[in-house]
């Protein structure tokens, strides 16, 4: 069983952006794309929710997932290309 922990920042962003926690859990367990952010040593899961792309930044240690932030991105291809080209994100 995986435990989920939210940072204070993630709690606020989930509330303000009206993100369904079930969507967050689904994308973390089965992302469409998964990257490792080499600058912050976090994982970045990206998944499709309806017509939008949800980006989830988190860490995973053993049976603990700590969610750092979540946000919707309408231009996820541009975001990915920019991060990969700079060497910040690598496929996980």
The CATH code that applies to domain 3-91 is 3.30.2310
Cβ–Cβ < 8 Å for 90, 58? no
Q: What is the pTM of this model?
A: 0.92
Ramachandran region, residue 27 (left: φ > 0; alpha: ψ -120 to 50; beta: rest): alpha
What is the per-residue pLDDT across 36-67, written as a single tens digit (0 to 9) for each? 999 999 999 999 998 899 999 999 999 999 99
Residue 34: per-residue pLDDT? 98
pLDDT of 69 above 90: yes
**Tokens found for residue 56:** 């989830």
Tell me the domain boundaries of the chain.
3-91
């Amino acid at each position: 069983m995986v435990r989920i922990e939210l940072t204070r920042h993630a709690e606020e962003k989930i509330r303000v952006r009206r993100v369904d926690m079930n969507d967050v859990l689904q994308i973390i367990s089965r992302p469409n794309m998964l990257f490792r952010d080499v600058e912050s040593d976090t994982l970045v899961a990206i998944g499709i929710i309806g017509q939008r792309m949800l980006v989830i930044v988190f860490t995973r240690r053993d049976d603990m997932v700590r969610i750092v932030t979540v946000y919707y991105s309408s231009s996820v291809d541009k975001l990915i290309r920019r991060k990969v080209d700079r060497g910040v994100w690598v496929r996980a």
